Amino acid sequence: MTNIERYESASLQASEVVTKSFSTSFSLGILCLGKKIRKPIYGIYGFVRVADEIVDTFFEVDQSKVLDDFENETYLAIQNKYSSNLILHAFQSVVNTYAINQDLIKSFFLSMRADLSEKNHDSQSYQKYVYGSAEVVGLMCLRVFTNNDKNLYDKLEAPAKKLGSAFQKVNFFRDIREDYNEKGRTYFPGFEIDKNLNEKQKSSIENEINSEFEEALKGIYSLPRSSRFGVLLACRYYKKLFKKLKSTPADQVMSKRIRVNNFQKVLLIPTTFALSLLK
């Protein structure tokens, strides 16, 4: 192994550590992917997590400048095919290997930047935010899953966007109290936090998410076997979380964080594996 190969391996390991440190659900899904595509997906999620933490955690720094610097370093890493930042080195390797469109990356950073300035959303800014923060991440992963097969990518592009959107909206639902109390943000349009969430608003959001899950599932079963099991597992985990959120009264969604414990996640594995073999 050359030093370049060692460096790339170390960078991907760094992204794996970051991913596992912040998300047990996605880490479990990635472990159920084919061995050859796990590292690239870690490369994407490690990058996404670092950007997310810049705007969500480190409030004591000049977040706007730090995010600007991180974005500029990202494009420079892609251009040079190298970065002294291990997370960015891993990400550029994935971008260059799988020809990920930089427009997706630009949209992602636009959404990250919106978290620094927009505390409430209308329908237009909401859709733009969800696209940049979640749908484009699904599309980046799809480039890896389809291994540069353009026809398959084009076929699965719409379902991949729906899945990313559904995941993000479930996260919004789950984190609704934390986002408002700690960050002063509300994502769902028309939601007035001071008047609390009512059942009518909650039902409308649920119908939107449910429709997206249905569209996403159609695409999951058309994924290559190397990615189908892992993606289906992540989807079923989120659907389980969504089911718990739906069964929780509106006032309680605002008063506690709903979650699925690790034991329940593990229980999904055998049935999901069987389902992934059906088509």
Checking if the pLDDT of 251 tops 80, the result is no
What does the alpha-carbon distance between residue 269 and residue 249 come to, in Å, rounded to a whole number? 29
What does the alpha-carbon distance between residue 168 and residue 31 come to, in Å, rounded to a whole number? 21
Say which range, 225-229, 253-257, 275-279, has the weakest mean pLDDT: 253-257
What does the alpha-carbon distance between residue 170 and residue 227 come to, in Å, rounded to a whole number? 22
Residue whose tokens read 């992540």: 234
Mean per-residue pLDDT, 199-222: 92
* Res 192: pLDDT: 66
Extents of the domains making up the chain: 3-272
Q: Is the dihedral of CA 148, 152, 155, 159 positive or negative?
A: negative
What does the alpha-carbon distance between residue 137 and residue 104 come to, in Å, rounded to a whole number? 8
What does the alpha-carbon distance between residue 43 and residue 147 come to, in Å, rounded to a whole number? 15
What does the alpha-carbon distance between residue 51 and residue 65 come to, in Å, rounded to a whole number? 12
What are the pLDDT digits (tens) for 148-188? 899 999 999 999 999 999 999 999 988 888 888 788 888 88
Token code pair at residue 34? 């084919």
Q: Which fold has domain 3-272?
A: Farnesyl Diphosphate Synthase (1.10.600)
Q: What is the mean pLDDT of the chain?
A: 92
Checking if the pLDDT of 254 tops 80, the result is no
Instruction: Please check whether residue 145 is in contact with residue 224, taking contact to mean a CB–CB distance below 8 angstroms.
Output: yes
Checking if the pLDDT of 140 tops 90, the result is yes
Token code pair at residue 223? 């994924």
